[in-house]
A and B are shown apart, each in its own frame.
Chain A
Amino acid sequence: MGPSMGRPGIILLREGTDTSQGKPQLISNINACQAVAEAVKTTLGPRGMDKLVFDGRKVTISNDGATIMALLEIAHPAAKTLVDISMSQDAEVGDGTTSVVLLAAEMLKQVKEFVEAGVHPQVLIRYMRQSAKLAVETVKKLAVPFEGEKGKEMLLKCAGTALNSKLISSHQDLFAPMVVEAVSGLKSDLSDLNLIAVKKVPGGEVRSSFLVKGVAFKKTFSYAGHEQMTKKFINPKILLLNVELELKSEKENAEVRITDPDQYQSIVDAEWNVIYEKLDKCVDCGANIVLSKLPIGDLATQYFADKGLFCAGRVDVGDMVRVGKATGAVIQTSTNGINAEVIGNCGMFEEKQIGDERFNLFTECVSKETATIVLRGGSEQFIEESHRSMHDAIMVVKRSLKSQAIVAGGGAVEMEVAKVLREESLKIEGKGQLVMQSFARALEIVPRQLADNAGYDATDILNALRKKHFHEQEGGKWFGVNIAEGGICDTYESGVWEPSINKINSLAAAGEAACVILSIDETVRNPKSEQPGAQPQAQQGRQGGGGMSGMMGNAMDIANNGARRGKLGHGVNYMKGRGGG
């Protein structure tokens, strides 16, 4: 942005604005994406490693791609696209968040040489789209639908595969059935994952985690008298409230004026009557258990204890909703007009000791939809990571149930799609052939990285896989990396299964992200406003920058304020900015 050839230059942007365009920009974006993929690639697969991210306050140890990507706080504008696809994969499928990032970065890497060689990005994009579409179609074709009887077993294997790369992988036999059971309880629409709660109880051993078919939550803060309550009910009636049951002033800003000391007692009595009336109504409706979102005070606790009820205040909203769903109770915002319809019931209620905590358990509920998984583990970090892993597994099972089809993992499906793409590519004339071939090569990153992470020779394994897939068309289609022993094996046989929707989504998302990044040829990055609020306008003028309209405005302002003359130093700057810029 300097004066050139004696003609006054046109100032378009603020000084300090970073612009870069054209091929270098594209290459630079691709490099950034690769750097990001580099950071997460070691987490892929059963031998994948964990990352410890410390953001100054909190530590997270995770293997989950999406979690890591979020914690890295990526600032590069193009690389952020990768974070987005990882997140969308997490939201959509829940698993495969690492591989989607890897795929996108690898696709870019493969076409980088074409960009350098001067192929127009739009050509690349066109054929990338075509390849991605073909890849998705191939996966759809390859997918094996669920067969009625074996459905459950398939789900178990899918859950197992999702847990493979996680910290709790060696306890798959415990967790996979747990997840499947929890998810299969949901109704067919599978909409509400909130109905499966995961509760964390630090301490204990991971294998003492268990599934509660119903609702379980930690004993809430309780007042004196709580221990005198009945802690076990069979077929209890449950009342859910959003009412504060405490002796307190009705309105914050109300004031009572008493002129006659005789009236004093009546005011006190009136207050007590208000609370007792509420309590009586709760008891009269026949409920055995009273839960409230808001506090239940000591008075109410003791009152209920006297009448043989159980109560808990300050229950978490999520837990309230789950109890409601499970028992059929409806949350009441008033104690007036409680009728039989809003009261729920369940087969069994109990307060139980779990590790160091006491838990309230509602089991044998009318509706079987809710489930609670109680996780145990030696340290907080361990439980946090288990929780994330369980989330992934739950999502995967849910997705498999919905899509009703699976493919074999371990890189098998990627290899097969790559083979199909290669064959297809030969039918294309021109540059597209090369693009599709490089897309096919990009897919091989998944088995390659799996082998790399496990410490095997990736090139050897890839060559063996390519040969297998090419020569034994039908028989070899499910061959992938054998993580346990090295070499290759039929991953369909060995039970490494993933829902097909997972792969479809990740191929589509990665392809789309790669195209987006390829289509960018210019970045305009505005400088950070360094002194927010301090003469922002004059400063803009001085720097000879700002948007066109801004400049006009500034000029007017400054002229009016006489700032031009007032501050010599600034004025000089200002003049320079106007004239020379």
Chain B
Amino acid sequence: MSMVYDEYGRPFIILKEQQAKARVKGLEAQKSNILAAKSVSSVLRTSLGPKGMDKMLVDPDGDVTITNDGATILERMEVQHQVAKLLVELSQSQDNEIGDGTTGVVVLAGALLAQAEKLLDRGIHPVRVAEGYEAACKVALDTLSQIGDTVEFTKDNTEPLVTTAETTLNSKIINVNRRKMAEIAVNAVLSVADLERKDVNFDMIKMEGKPGGRLEDTELVQGIVLDKEMSHPQMAKTVKDVKCALLTCPFEPPKPKTKHKLDITSKDAYDKLYEHEQAYFTKMIQQVKDSGANLVICQWGFDDEANHLLLQNKLPAIRWVGGVELELIALATGARIIPRFSELSADKLGTCGQVREIAFGTTKEKMVVIEDCKNSSAVTCVVRGGNKMIVDEAKRSLHDAMCVVRNLVKDNRVVYGGGSAEIACSMAVSKHADSVMGTDQYAIRAFADALDDIPLALAENCGLSPIEELANVKSKQLAENNPFLGVDCNQSGTNNMKDQGVFETLIGKQQQLLLATQVVKMVLKIDDVISMGNYQ
């Protein structure tokens, strides 16, 4: 910030470290913020839609991520600029709440800001622009609920859900196998969903990825998969009619938590100590045996001594199982977690149909699958793929698809994709604009133009001529009065998205509009940027 001089030519310092502070004010500040936000959205623009491209991100450690998921790209980009960060959070918030449409929301916000910039140049007050946007947003939301369709599905007829999930997967790298992936996602969600309460607990769905194998080998396990193996290679690989004991104590003599010291003064005492230790081991094993358990799952490790004893007593065991997994197993098998051996009893054991260890290909990697649980709701997706990057991306894509299915379970209204909903909203908004008096009219119209940006970007990414395509679809929508017409990204010959089966959830779309408008308002309202050091 520059110095301020008084009438007598003396400089005076008003702010601490005034010289080091940079300040941008007024229109200049708005412009620079808009520019920053626009550059973020232009990064994502090419990722939109079924023909959207992926981004490769290399983090400081050299780890590579290849993804098409808006939220992930922005998160890994480590954006520095403060206003640009708002867009990152915007995308994350869409991700947390809806799980899909993370790219669209940022592209929309970018478009809204680009339109706002034009209005600012004309001298319209930024807050008026923001208020106009809010009014327009309301109109668009109403339009969305009008053109929204409901999908009916039951536990037996999951077809509509699968189609919607497929739409989500369209833009992802795994779209070759989208049918299979979509089915996995739908089955996973439905097996944990409570259709009555319309509640889906995602904690019950676990994702495990193993590089190797083909994408087609991805499967859904009705049960829990642990990335662990039996503690001893010679233990039984498969256990049927399992009664498992979940332990949070290690297989070793108990240690008091208080600092202690054992004074051994004689050989006798030493022998006695040894005996005691041995006795502990045998007693522990005996206690497990007595309780009737035929599988031990332990949160901690156990040393060779215990491992050997377990093997001798034909007690298969899994060690180093994390707390979260232990909890999941407890829930699925109806077991109680046991803090010490003396509390073992038959009623605290969990039961399940089968536990087996599976090996993957020629590698030594193994996993333990716990199946046919009493409380069958927990499921695990085992994702396979050519390399780690594909597996990670597949996991993210599956997660997106599951989120969409969850949203449908919560609220079964959908709108059609391919930009059709945006075009319909845009037309409704610009129609509304004509009926509004004053400056707001301009802002509302700008909102309509910004909505057009989504189908434009879609067409652009598919290699179509964007303006031509948009104009065609728009005039068709108007002529046929059919809000289901959108950009034909897959060149399947029809613009009717209903026929193509491209669905998006209504709440997802609504959330996109609301969030984008909110953030745009926030950016527009800033007219003064004061910062220490470099702000750019």
Contacts and interface: CB of A to CB of B under 8 A. Distances in A.
A226 B532 CA distance: 45
A512 interface: no
Nearest to B514: A205
Contacts of A75: 13-18
Interface in A53-67: 53-56, 59, 61, 63
Interface stretch (A284-292, A298-306, A407-415, A562-570): A298-306
A202 B93 contact: yes
Nearest to B261: A257
B531 A54 contact: yes
Contacts of B529: 51-54
Contacts, number: 243
Nearest to A223: B323
Contacts of A473: none
B15 A167 contact: no
B48 interface: no
Contact of B260 (A28, A53, A223, A255): A255
Interface residues of B, number: 77
Interface in A211-266: 223-228, 247-251, 253-262, 264-265
A454 B127 CA distance: 9
A65 B357 CA distance: 64
Nearest to A267: B256
A9 interface: no
Contacts of B256: 249, 256, 267-268, 270-271
A272 interface: yes
B262 to A, nearest CB: 5
B501 interface: no
Contacts of B97: 203-205, 355-356
Interface in B80-108: 82-83, 85-86, 89-90, 92-93, 96-97
Main secondary structure of the interface of A (DSSP, over half): mixed
B299 interface: yes
A356 B89 CA distance: 14
Given A224-B326, A224-B337, A250-B258, A382 B528 contact: no
B331 A228 contact: yes
A74 B276 contact: no
Interface in B299-342: 299, 323-324, 326-327, 330-331, 336-337, 339-340
A207 B337 CA distance: 41
A559 B516 CA distance: 74
Interface in A444-476: 454-455
A48 B127 CA distance: 8
Contacts of B85: 59
Given A28-B12, A72-B530, A225-B337, A205 B127 contact: no
Given A205-B518, A224-B248, A49 B526 contact: yes
B89 A249 contact: no
A170 B263 contact: no
Interface stretch (A35-43, A312-320, A363-371): A35-43
A274 to B, nearest CB: 10
Interface stretch (A98-106, A372-380, A435-443): A372-380
A129 B131 CA distance: 42
B7 A56 contact: no
A134 B290 CA distance: 90
Contacts of A122: none
A159 to B, nearest CB: 20
B521 interface: yes
A203 B92 contact: yes
B463 interface: no
A247 B257 contact: yes
A392 interface: no
Contacts of A254: 258-259
A47 interface: yes
A204 B97 CA distance: 6
Contacts of A35: 4, 14
Given A170-B134, A259-B269, 19 more contacts: A52-B82, A52-B528, A53-B531, A55-B531, A61-B522, A73-B17, A75-B15, A76-B14, A76-B15, A205-B518, A206-B518, A207-B514, A224-B330, A248-B257, A249-B259, A254-B259, A255-B259, A271-B256, A380-B89
Shortest 9 CB-CB contacts between residues of A and residues of B = A54-B531, A379-B89, A49-B527, A224-B323, A56-B532, A73-B16, A203-B96, A249-B258, A256-B260
Interface of B: 4, 6-8, 10, 12-18, 29, 33, 82-83, 85-86, 89-90, 92-93, 96-97, 125-128, 131, 134, 199, 203, 248, 253-263, 265, 269, 272-273, 276, 299, 323-324, 326-327, 330-331, 336-337, 339-340, 511, 514-515, 518-519, 521-522, 525-533, 535
17 contacts: A28-B7, A50-B527, A51-B528, A55-B531, A61-B525, A74-B16, A75-B13, A202-B89, A203-B92, A203-B97, A205-B97, A207-B514, A224-B326, A298-B248, A302-B336, A355-B96, A380-B89
Interface of A: 20, 24, 27-28, 31-32, 35-36, 39, 42, 46-56, 59, 61, 63, 71-76, 79, 167, 170, 202-207, 223-228, 247-251, 253-262, 264-265, 267-268, 270-272, 298-299, 302-303, 305-306, 353, 355-356, 377-382, 385, 454-455
